[in-house]
């Protein structure tokens, strides 16, 4: 069976700490940091990667 080259991660809002998005990324790339929409604040905020358990 082949190893999976992708890693599943959560994107956590840096302002509220809410987990708003789930995505996957390559295991060889750097950590994700994206400006994504936060529905609680109704604006775009910085979301940082956190590993899924």
Q: Can you give the pLDDT of all 53 residues of the chain as single tens digits?
A: 667 889 999 999 999 999 999 999 999 999 999 999 999 999 999 999 999 87
Count of structural domains within the chain? 1
pTM, 2 dp = 0.84
Range of the domain at 28: 6-51
DSSP string for residues in the chain = -PPP-EEEEEEEETTT--EEEEEEEETTSPPPEEEEEETTTTEEEEEEEEE--
Write down the pLDDT at residue 52: 85
Q: What is the CATH number of the domain that holds 41?
A: 2.20.28.120
Write down the pLDDT at residue 1: 65
Write down the pLDDT at residue 15: 96
């Amino acid at each position: 069976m082949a190893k999976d080259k992708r890693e599943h991660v959560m994107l956590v809002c840096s302002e509220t700490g809410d987990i708003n998005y789930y995505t996957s990324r390559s295991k060889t790339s750097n950590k994700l940091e994206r400006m994504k929409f936060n529905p609680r604040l109704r604006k775009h905020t910085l979301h940082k990667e956190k590993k899924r358990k």
